Amino acid sequence: MSDRGVTEAAGLDLPQFELTEFIGRVLAEDLGSGGDVTSHATIDASARFVATLNCREPIVVAGLELVIAFFRAMDREVRIERTVSDGDAVDAGTVLLRVEGNARAMLAAERSALNTLQHLSGIATLTRRYVEAIAGTGAVLLDTRKTIPGMRLLDKYAARMGGAENHRMRMDDGLLIKDNHVAVAGGVAPAVRAAKAAETGLQVQVEVDRIDQIEPALEAGADRLLLDNMAPEMLRQAVALVARRVPLEASGGVRLDTIRAIAESGVDYVSVGRITQSAPAVDIGLDYELQR
């Protein structure tokens, strides 16, 4: 089966993600060349391990299929009972899944599984807080490319589980003219005209940070505007000036305590780098169940 097939079979909405490669790489990083020497020294090879995966704080779950893949990579016969799904908001004390398998194998997979789940659920949990903060405004939360290197597909998957929409996944997914492009090209209008002339087939989005850049950008053919680091009052001016001719995205320094006012300005989208760049890992543990 191809990696894509494995990913789809695992229930992940990640068609370009190489699941087998990721699981193998992460396990190799943790196991090294000698494997889990502690478990081999202290636990009989035939010992069984029954445990529950528990969250110790309220979270939004993301990454359970990866956890399952880690355990199955170490023990193909592991028995797993999943009690929640990715995207679920759960309370502290909730059992996320139960596992029963070879003790050495389960302990060898534990850290890789937990690290991944804690990180991705941290992103989903923080993202959900931002989504809830703008509920009812009509604005849509977007993620950015501010992700951990090598983890972009997973980080953006977690953002989706939290309720955000993905902005461009890679640089070839969308044409976004930023301030440095504008500076080198000689202005907003020349940059937009050059982008349109390139005939990439992609929409042309351009970043503006002043009101007087808006009309030149639109006259040059911009399909979408990124309003960068504008205060809510300036955003309202931009919304009124554009009058729905193109979609508007607010970005730059957006925080949980400021996003509501930004969204209420009337913009269509608010992009937040913090949800993938700065989300703290959540507290999840694998707890052994004593067998009577």
Domain assignments of the chain as residue spans, ordered by start = 3-128+279-288, 165-271
Q: At what angle do helices 152-162 and 103-133 cross, to 10 degrees?
A: 60
Could you report the per-residue pLDDT of 92-117, keeping only the tens digit for each?
A: 999 999 999 999 999 999 999 999 99
Cβ contacts of 202 within 8 Å, gap of 6 or more: 174, 175
| Among 76, 178, 210, 245, the one annotated catalytic | 178
The answer to whether residue 279 scores a pLDDT higher than 70 is yes
Give residue 25's pLDDT band: very low, low, confident or very high (50, 70, 90). very high
| Among 82, 98, 111, 168, the one annotated catalytic | 111
CATH 3.40.50.300 fits 165-271, yes or no: no
Could you report the per-residue pLDDT of 33-52, keeping only the tens digit for each?
A: 999 999 999 999 999 999 99
Residue 156 appears among annotated catalytic residues? no
> Residue 76: what pLDDT?
96
The CATH number of domain 3-128+279-288, selected from 3.90.1170.20, 3.30.930.20, 3.40.640.10, 3.30.70.141: 3.90.1170.20
The answer to whether residue 10 scores a pLDDT higher than 70 is no
State the Cα–Cα distance between residues 142 and 159, nearest whole angstrom: 9
Instruction: Give residue for tokens 């009690």.
Output: 83
| Among 36, 100, 155, 207, the one annotated catalytic | 207
Model confidence, pTM? 0.93
Residue 207 appears among annotated catalytic residues? yes
Calculate what percentage of the chain has a pLDDT beyond 90: 92
Residue 228 appears among annotated catalytic residues? yes
The mean pLDDT of the chain is: 94
